């Protein structure tokens, strides 16, 4: 999962970044509202965690801007107060969920997971395509009832392809989604990851188009 955190309290940002990375997620962050709006408008993320009070531009303004641009990335708003009018303002502006500070990391992680499943496959925690099934909670793949052991990157790549089934996925799209923007990867790392993935789940599932990208078809 690729997550953007826009939060100006350094200790909270550091704590959340470390927690999500230890749980295997890609994390990018900003401590400034205007920069956070730019990042969320120009990059693809699975979830945006957005603080209300930010320098430059507040979270509610950023949220309005994203929704006006038809950017539908799920957003969890972090608020300092829990009054009804504030909750209503957040949800009315287009937030998918909110959390009142202080909060437990475990609760935020659970809410992020629930939003991701909802956005990925309408709330289901399993996805079936052709002869394989992905369990999003366990991060496990089954083929005809047998467990297929995948690396984290292989699972993320497979899920990304499934989410875009019947559509071409380019190397640039994969690199942006599976590797952070400050990570330089070898030119063939995607090709090698696809090779190992196809070897494990079957070559028939992932179609390769030289110079263009990859595609999973629903049938």
All structural domains of the chain with their residue ranges: 2-121, 126-216
- Position 182 pLDDT exceeds 70: no
**3-state SS class at 70:** coil
Nearest 10 degrees: Cα torsion 25, 31, 37, 38: -80
Q: What is the pLDDT of residue 36?
A: 94
| Whole-structure pTM value | 0.69
| Contacts of 18-24 spanning 24+ positions with Cβ under 8 A | 19/105, 19/109, 20/109, 23/109, 24/152
Alpha helix (H) residue ranges in 43-181:
59-68, 84-92, 105-121, 152-163, 171-178
Architecture of domain 2-121 in this structure: 3-Layer(aba) Sandwich (3.40)
How far is it, in rounded angstroms, from Cα 192 to Cα 63? 38
Instruction: Give the model confidence (pLDDT) of 41-75 as tens digits.
Output: 988 898 999 999 999 999 999 999 999 999 989 99
How far is it, in rounded angstroms, from Cα 81 to Cα 51? 12
Of 185, 180, 183, 176, nearest to 29 by C-alpha is 180
Region of 213 (left: φ > 0; alpha: ψ -120 to 50; beta: rest) is: left
Contact 46, 69 (CB under 8 A): no
**Cα angle 21, 15, 112; round to 5:** 60
Indicate the fold that domain 126-216 takes in CATH.
Arc Repressor Mutant, subunit A (1.10.10)
Instruction: Give the model confidence (pLDDT) of 87-142 as tens digits.
Output: 888 888 899 999 999 999 999 999 998 888 777 655 557 888 888 898 887 888 99
């Amino acid at each position: 999962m690729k997550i953007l955190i826009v939060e100006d309290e350094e200790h909270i940002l550091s704590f959340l970044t470390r927690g999500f990375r230890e749980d295997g997620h890609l994390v990018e962050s900003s401590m400034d509202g205007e920069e956070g709006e730019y990042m969320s408008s120009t990059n693809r993320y699975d979830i945006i965690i957005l603080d209300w009070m930010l320098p430059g531009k507040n979270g509610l303004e950023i949220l309005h801007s994203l929704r006006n641009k038809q950017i539908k990335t799920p957003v969890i708003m972090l608020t300092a107060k829990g009054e009804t009018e504030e909750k209503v303002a957040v949800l009315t502006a287009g937030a998918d969920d909110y959390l009142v500070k202080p909060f437990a990391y475990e609760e935020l992680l659970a809410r992020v997971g629930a939003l991701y499943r909802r956005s990925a496959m309408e709330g289901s925690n399993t996805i079936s395509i052709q002869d394989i099934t992905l369990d999003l909670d366990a991060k496990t793949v089954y083929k005809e009832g047998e467990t297929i052991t995948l690396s984290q990157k292989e699972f993320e790549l497979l899920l990304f392809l499934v989410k875009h089934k019947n559509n071409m996925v380019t190397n640039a799209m994969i690199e942006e989604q599976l590797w952070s923007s400050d990570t330089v990867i070898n030119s063939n790392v995607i090709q090698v990851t696809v090779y190992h993935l196809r070897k494990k789940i079957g070559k028939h599932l992932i179609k390769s188009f030289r110079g263009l990208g990859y595609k999973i078809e629903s049938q």
